[in-house]
Structure 1
């Protein structure tokens, strides 16, 4: 059953004094209903004197506008497609530079494939049903009087056509569902239908609240979305200050030579081969599955396009246009702030951006501080979490005062000022040619917002980075490196007192994972003034606005009086130990079940959204390995040793899902769990044992301790526990669990 999101209000029941409220009333529709009638909008009406609100289900059949072209991957199974594409590509000559030629040819190919699709697959559902009836009629005739040779051949031919159409339908549903864990060739169209409807239900915009007014017509909603994003991506055109007097590391001439060297066909082809062909396409409508299939046809033109881009730093305007799709951040989105914008880029622009990003990844670590743990090879999300846990544990143990400020940057990617990004590129030593390439890719373009699949009018962008652009993560690191530079300058001038660890002190002033920032220091009024000044100044320089009200202040061994004063001064919320950073616990007891409860609940909720009646036993095994063991528990298991009680609960959840019935009920456990976890070659099902996964991920820390270099997390461990920790790694048995607990 599909639980529709509630519009109009959050709750449907209120007690007499109005202090207790809940969403008790729901409107559930079956998948069969949704497939036949679509998904409407659920509204809560005023409750008058009742303690319950009346619910009403509305169906809006308005016209949202035309849907853009999208290359369907099931076309690749059609033997005629290759001839159709090759003939069009060769016969249609376009004059001009290669970027323009590719743009025009892809534009013409879209129209050509639309016509071809209608001829080959028009009325897919109707043709499938007609073939089933015709085959059934022949079967009945065969039962009664028998079939002659021609009728037998005709039935065989119809079976072949039906099989092709059914595989096309399955492939189409698979692409729309975008289920990454399903095995290739696993026919489960009903599950894909359910996945598509679940995705449509969560992404559907049936109404929006703008200035406390509800809009529910397609025209008014699209106008509101267009107006919102037009304001969102416009620049204020103010003169921003520069970070003069702040020192930044720079890349060398050799690094610049790597960045601007000639493009090779091998590096382009490597990017194409490694890219996912099922990703949603941008305005050009083509994905990497198309590029892979027709690489031999296209590679010559694409190579010329790269060579010309290397020389003239130019791209067609349409390459820089992109779609923005809105993904809900909450279960019942009401306003546009409840959606996360994700960019859908054209395949050729994305190819260029990926090649540039791959080059940038080779040198970016030389200009990014060790406090930053995002997107750089050798640095992990759990590194910063480990460091702040060690800070909290040391502060508690030594009774030292420590103040932690959890910074919330408001829409960080979308707020980046292009002038500041260019300034940071110059300050970090990037050459003019590379900066020119980045300017072409980033400092221009138009976006169209997809509202229920239909694009809005184009909007000229004037700031921000595109979420989904391969270059965006690395460029954003350069932006927030400006904050690290200012913090270093403040400490150098003794304006900010950091937190030190060890006899050979390691200085901890701030930690970052992209824009997720923790500022750590002494609990003093001077630190508060400096921190607020740095954040305000960085906002003026970079465009990244701090949402102080959503930020949090946590004190360790700090008086409640000081914390109250500090939270008032910073206009932020007061937090406490334990708290979460990057979704992982800080200062929590890993042996306590309450530390693991949120994650176990998350797994249960994920499982409740998957319907066992659609999924075979083999698919459930694939799901357990590919999904259950890759969602946030991976980071929990990389950081904390799982208690036996939690391990048993998790195994119970996995076992019930594996053997559960159509409605998730209990079924006979045909095989003991240790046998299920054995490799398939040894008679098991190949489900990974979570306990062994936990031990192996913790053991990875020992391996990382032996790697060359001295990252920040390793400096912290050595400063806190001494150099002997490295000797223990070299001379203790690999699965000496006592070592796992040294810093966990």
Structure 2
């Protein structure tokens, strides 16, 4: 029996014991709940003033609405069958539609190897891990490192099919009789790509996004992964995060140490203010990618991990863990048949965000390095402050898959589209031009831009004449007084709602304190 199979047997036995123990405690819990409910009713009749009762009921109503909202976010009432165009609400039919959708989504399609080579050429030779970083990434795990990573993991994280949360695994990791086996299993995954069978099948829950919810494109798949597998990728992610910064352009701020989402929002707003002061004619593109994580091609990922100098052991381990496995999709608490995973980075895995940054980096570098893209050039600071200093041009800002591209003229637009097309052919990415928004950086209307944008399928346009401000990464880009007033009113409403919520929570806490005293 292999160490991987033995590890799964131990987990299965622990799960069986925990389930049996839990069943024995059910009757005790029921009796305790009945007693607490009686005490609560007595308290409500005798001790709590009417005003607190009313506010308490308001808070209970809020909690009920919140629970209902969370349930509605996961509940799939009906889906459209893409093959027939019909709407189905039958559970069996929805499972079939879901399985067919994700089987197509994760099926491997051929990519253009010439385009891969073109994208590889944008990575400089110096942009590579050095030998010490590569050795650090592949150094064997010790039990102390594994235990520390498990103890830092979020306690509320949901386990997958093995049913073991981080709390149970932390107890298991601290048992001396299992130390050798645990270290062997984790290091075999790292150096030999030998996985416990339970790591090779995951389940996926669906969370609703904006838009028409009969389309599975508007549902976000969140992968539920066994916690021991997530501890492994958390270990790799911790190591990767400490060495990846030199490989990633400063223009990418997503999930990087000492880089913040607010940096992008501030830079975008400053660019808009400077463009408005100069009355310049630049345009910004807020690009939307369709299923960005799910479409990553394994050949493309392997090519760029190799180009960035990652050790082959690391590449093989990541490739085996993400590709060639399977998943089941949870639709209203029913699971589909297994769906093979031929491509895609699973959302919910700790290491996926940094891997996706590496996937996006060739496109970002190609835009920055292009001498045909002028982007937005900030005005120089006057001599009293700096004598001979030129601010760098701003061509692209990124937060994970959210791209903001600055265009000087239609020639910039044509060059950017060529680079995006090359990236799409190389990585299997797909830009969603229906959801991509073009906006005037200065806020002034630019009707001469519209035909060129529409020729690429970009129909959404924003300038100072729109009543609602444009938002980028939830930061407003305000071009007029009316947009500023709209934003302030919306912010005020949110603050009022927050104050009401805090007040309700405080009332509930007072009621609980009185309950405990009695």
Q: Separation in 1 of the partners of 2:511 and 2:259? A: 33
Q: Separation in 2 of the partners of 1:410 and 1:512? A: 16
Q: Separation in 1 of the partners of 2:209 and 2:440? A: 29
Q: Does 1:213 align with 2:86?
A: yes
Q: Does 1:245 align with 2:121?
A: yes
Structure 1 position 484, deviation (Å): 1.3
- Partner SS, residue 93 of structure 2: helix
Aligned twin of 1:516: 402
CA-to-aligned-CA distance 1:128-175 (integer Å, 9 cap, x gap): 578799x99xxxxxxxxxxxxxxxxxxxxxxxxxxxxxxxxxxxxxxx
Aligned twin of 2:472: 581
Q: Separation in 2 of the partners of 1:538 and 1:526? A: 19
Structure 1 position 618, deviation (Å): 5.8
TM-aligned CA distance change 1:190 to 1:563, over 3 Å = closer
TM-aligned CA distance change 1:299 to 1:587, over 3 Å = farther
User: Conserved in 2, the CA contact under 8 Å of 1:328 and 1:339?
Assistant: yes
Q: Separation in 2 of the partners of 1:304 and 1:619? A: 52
User: Conserved in 1, the CA contact under 8 Å of 2:478 and 2:484?
Assistant: no
User: Conserved in 2, the CA contact under 8 Å of 1:413 and 1:464?
Assistant: yes
User: Conserved in 1, the CA contact under 8 Å of 2:120 and 2:307?
Assistant: no
Aligned twin of 1:638: none
Of 5, 8, 16, which aligns to 1:111? 16
Aligned twin of 2:6: 101
- Partner SS, residue 545 of structure 1: coil
TM-aligned CA distance change 1:531 to 1:619, over 3 Å = farther
Q: Separation in 2 of the partners of 1:395 and 1:202? A: 40
* Correspondence 1:99-498 to 2 at 5 A: 99-121=4-26, 125=30, 127=31, 196-211=67-82, 212-240=85-113, 241-242=115-116, 243-248=119-124, 249-297=127-175, 298-330=178-210, 333-491=213-371, 495-498=372-375
Aligned twin of 1:725: none
Q: Separation in 2 of the partners of 1:592 and 1:305? A: 57
Structure 1 position 227, deviation (Å): 1.5
* Correspondence 1:513-552 to 2 at 5 A: 513-522=399-408, 524-552=409-437
CA RMSD between the two structures: 3.2
CA-to-aligned-CA distance 1:398-441 (integer Å, 9 cap, x gap): 23321211111111111111111111111111122221222232
User: Conserved in 2, the CA contact under 8 Å of 1:444 and 1:462?
Assistant: yes
Q: Separation in 2 of the partners of 1:458 and 1:490? A: 44
Structure 1 position 372, deviation (Å): 0.5
Q: Separation in 2 of the partners of 1:587 and 1:213? A: 42
Aligned twin of 1:55: none
Structure 1 position 266, deviation (Å): 2.4
User: Conserved in 2, the CA contact under 8 Å of 1:393 and 1:587?
Assistant: no
Q: Point out where structure 2 has 5 or more consecutive residues left out of the alignment.
A: 40-58, 381-388, 514-518
CA-to-aligned-CA distance 1:336-387 (integer Å, 9 cap, x gap): 2332111111011101000000000011111000111111111000111111
Q: Separation in 1 of the partners of 2:284 and 2:211? A: 31
Flag the structure with more relative contact order, 1 or 2, with Cα contacts below 8 A and sequence separation at least 6. 2
- When normalised by structure 2's length, the TM-score is 0.82
Structure 1 position 396, deviation (Å): 1.6
Q: Separation in 1 of the partners of 2:445 and 2:71? A: 50
Structure 1 position 116, deviation (Å): 3.4
TM-aligned CA distance change 1:197 to 1:552, over 3 Å = closer
* Correspondence 1:722-741 to 2 at 5 A: none
User: Conserved in 2, the CA contact under 8 Å of 1:320 and 1:349?
Assistant: no
TM-aligned CA distance change 1:611 to 1:587, over 3 Å = closer
Aligned twin of 1:563: 449
CA-to-aligned-CA distance 1:466-485 (integer Å, 9 cap, x gap): 11101100000001101012
TM-aligned CA distance change 1:208 to 1:120, over 3 Å = same
User: Conserved in 1, the CA contact under 8 Å of 2:437 and 2:461?
Assistant: yes
Structure with higher Rg: it is 1
User: Conserved in 2, the CA contact under 8 Å of 1:498 and 1:520?
Assistant: yes
TM-aligned CA distance change 1:358 to 1:539, over 3 Å = same
User: Conserved in 2, the CA contact under 8 Å of 1:328 and 1:338?
Assistant: yes
Structure 1 position 122, deviation (Å): 5.4
User: Conserved in 2, the CA contact under 8 Å of 1:588 and 1:595?
Assistant: no
TM-aligned CA distance change 1:445 to 1:611, over 3 Å = farther
Aligned twin of 1:499: 376
- When normalised by structure 1's length, the TM-score is 0.58
- Partner SS, residue 207 of structure 2: strand
- Partner SS, residue 567 of structure 1: helix
Q: Point out where structure 1 has 5 or more consecutive residues left out of the alignment.
A: 1-95, 137-187, 622-744
TM-aligned CA distance change 1:406 to 1:332, over 3 Å = closer
User: Conserved in 2, the CA contact under 8 Å of 1:567 and 1:574?
Assistant: no
TM-aligned CA distance change 1:196 to 1:574, over 3 Å = closer
- Partner SS, residue 279 of structure 1: coil
TM-aligned CA distance change 1:412 to 1:445, over 3 Å = same
TM-aligned CA distance change 1:456 to 1:275, over 3 Å = same
- Partner SS, residue 414 of structure 1: coil
Structure 1 position 394, deviation (Å): 1.4
TM-aligned CA distance change 1:465 to 1:599, over 3 Å = farther
Q: Separation in 2 of the partners of 1:505 and 1:262? A: 45
- Partner SS, residue 293 of structure 2: helix
